[in-house]
Amino acid sequence: MSEETKPPSLTGDPKTFAPKDCRIRSLDALRGIAAISVMYAHILYIYATKDLWVASAKHGNFLAFLLARTPAGMFFTGGEAVILFFVLSGFVLSLPFLAGHPQSYRTFAIRRVCRIYLPYAAALFVAIAVRSAVGVEPIAGTSSWVAAFWSTPPTLGTVAGYLAMTEFPQHTRIDFVVWSLIHEMRISLIFPLLLAVTSRSRLRLTLPIFFVFSYACAWWSIHIGQGSPAAQASIRSLLETGSYIWFFVVGIELARYRHVISKWIASRSGIACAGLFSIAACFYSVRLISPVLGPTLESDFIVGVGAAGFVALASGHARFDRWLNWGPFLFLGKISYSLYLFHPIVLLGLVYALHNILSPEIILIVIALASVLAAWLAQRLIEKPSMQLGRVLTAPRLRWSPVATR
């Protein structure tokens, strides 16, 4: 194995790398910030669609311009945050393997299913219960975006398709963020293969090859046009999964060369690191600052470069690490998955329940606070027990021995 293909040692600062669980708390915090940015973006869409925000920015609305056309808007974005999630997943899932704590495929798969799928399934039944409790009717003053969800009662077929992760795109009408979790679950199941391929290949080969593969999948998913609508939807969904694999590979390579990157970042001055953050922010928010690109095929990959920059800085720079280890950020990191998964249910439930009671401004505040509270409860009551179940199902089993009973 050449020096380039050999992953660097992962025996770094014990404060930032714990061999026991291979967690880097600053990355949890980064995930929490991304999750709350998704929530903020969706709150903004309740009374004004994204197109309306862009139009307002063109007509001189300063707040709209700030959120829709500058890097400040990266704290109120959804699609960019999902790409960051994928890069983070590639990074953190790699650490145990690279640190010499590999898992069997059975253990890895069971724990990922319990980690992702069980809360995903629970959200379905929570959404159905909340929808039934509040009632759904057209609300004057809300955007067409709100009306796109919960307008049609879920059927048995829709529920089955949601649970099987095959009902496209109807599953997003129940919980509009779960599309990304379907891709996350699929890629998680092949992740050990991705890690095996990248760890045996040179960096200058893996990134271009997987980029071409993901770009081809993305292009094909856009231009597919044969077969029945159901078949097209299924094939398109699988191709979209392929289009996101590159972001996981970027995360893997960041983990492989983490200490090389960290050493290089640590040798830069504070001004240089601020410049690196600014460059990463510009890449990450390219769809905001460049009207020409917008939400195009190419812009996803540019956003991925910015996301990689954030992950590198968060995991490799002492000052960024200290900032991200601030208590509120760590709390958001702890509840990030539940916040991402359950905030749409809280949002829609409260909009329908409170539209005749409170003003729109108060409703937005209540939604933000209630989403965090619901995420905290879901993390304790659903997410944490699901992860514990994964550990129980994969715990080493002691064989019974008659000697032990004597």
**Which residues neighbour 153 within 8 Å (Cβ) at sequence distance 6 or greater?**
131
pLDDT along the chain (406 residues), means of 10: 41 38 83 96 87 68 76 88 97 91 91 97 96 88 89 89 83 90 96 92 89 94 72 85 96 94 91 94 89 72 96 89 93 97 97 92 96 98 97 76 44
pLDDT of residue 226: 61
Question: Is it true that the peptide bond before 169 is cis, omega within 30 degrees of 0?
Answer: yes
**Which residues neighbour 267 within 8 Å (Cβ) at sequence distance 6 or greater?**
none
Q: How is residue 115 annotated by DSSP?
A: I
pLDDT of residue 379: 98
Contacts from 169-173 at CB under 8 Å and sequence distance 24+?
169/233, 173/148, 173/149
Whether 356 and 332 have beta carbons less than 8 Å apart is answered as no
pLDDT of residue 63: 77
For the chain, domain boundaries: 31-391
pLDDT of residue 170: 76
Q: Where are the alpha helices (DSSP H) in 294-359?
A: 297-316, 318-324, 327-334, 336-354
Q: How far apart are CA 163 and CA 159, in angstroms?
A: 6
pLDDT of residue 54: 67
pLDDT of residue 181: 95
pLDDT of residue 58: 67
pLDDT of residue 225: 63
Q: How far apart are CA 338 and CA 256, in angstroms?
A: 29
- pTM for the model stands at 0.88
pLDDT of residue 292: 63
